[in-house]
Amino acid sequence: MKHSKLWRATMTVLPMLVVSGLTMAVMAAVPADYKGKPWKDKAQEIPGKVWGAYYDVGGNGVAYNNKDTKNHGSGELNHGPEEKNNFRKEEGISISYTKAAFDKWLDTGKILDIDEYYVGWTSTGESINYTVDVKEAGTYVVNMKASANNDNTEVSLAVNSTQTTGPIKVEKTGYYHNWKMYNGIAELKLDKGLNVVTFKFEKEGNMNFMWLEFVPKGKDAPAATPTKEAPKTTPTADKKG
C-alpha cells in the first residue's frame, strides 16, 4: 500500500485534539508537500458535514490509501447512464448510494433518504483525505453517520497527519445497510483555515460511511437526515432506489 505525503506542517500554531479527556497537539495548515486537491476545487466547510464520497482528488497514495484500486459500487454494483451509477467510477474508493429497498435506520427501521452517496467495501488500514475549510476556530464535536457489519470495528481521525484520535470503536449495526448516528465520537480543537482531515479504517473495515459532522461544542446538531442539506445524486424524478 502506498502512503500519503501528509507529514510536514507549514505553521507552528497548535490546535488541540481531545478524545476521552486526553488532549493532544495538532499542527494547523495543510502540509506543504501534500499533493491532493479538494473535490471540484472546493474544500468542504466546517462547521458542517464532510461527505465521504467527496474525498480529495489525487489518486491512491495521495488522496487516499486503498488496498483495492477498483470502485466496486459505481460501474460494478450499480449500472446505468445516470451520474449516480458512474460517480467517480475510475477511482479506487468504492462508492454507492442509498436505496429504499435496503437502507434503513437501525433504531426506527425507517428508510433513509435515497440516492445519497456513501463509501463502502472498506478494509483495515485504508484511509481517505478531505481538505476542509474551517470557518471558525474552536472546539468541534464530531458525529458520524455510518453502519458497521462486524464487531470490534474501529476508525480514527487525524488532522494534517500530526496526531490522531487513536482508535474509535464503532458499535456494530449488524448489517451494512442498517445505519445509525454515532454522536460525539471525538472532539477536535481546530484553527481557522484549510486543513486536511484523514479518516482511517483502523480495524475490521466492513462498514459503510456517509459523513462526518463537525458541530461547535456547546451547540446542538441539526436533525440526522436533513433533506435540504443532503447532496442528492440525481433529481427527484430520477430516483429509482
The number of beta carbons lying within 10 Å of the beta carbon of residue 217 is: 13
At residue 163, the pLDDT reads 64
Q: How many CB atoms lie within 10 A of CB 39?
A: 18
Enumerate domains of the chain plus CATH numbers.
16-220 (2.60.120.260)
- Averaged pLDDT for residues 143-169: 92
Query: Taking the model in full, what pTM does it have?
Result: 0.81
**Cell numbers describing residue 23:** 488532549
Query: 73 near 121, Cβ under 8 Å?
Result: yes
Can you tell me the mean pLDDT for 24-52?
A: 87
Q: How confident is the model at residue 219 (pLDDT cuts 50, 70, 90)?
A: confident
Note the pLDDT tens digit of each residue in 110-147. 999 999 999 999 999 999 999 999 999 999 999 999 99
Q: How far is CA 7 from the centre of its chain?
A: 20
DSSP assignment letter at 72: S
Supply the pLDDT for residue 102: 97
- Band the pLDDT of 69: cuts 50, 70, 90: confident
Cα gap 151→133, rounded to integer Å: 34
Q: Is the pLDDT of residue 27 over 80?
A: no
For the ranges 4-8, 28-32, 165-169, 236-240, the lowest mean pLDDT is seen at: 236-240
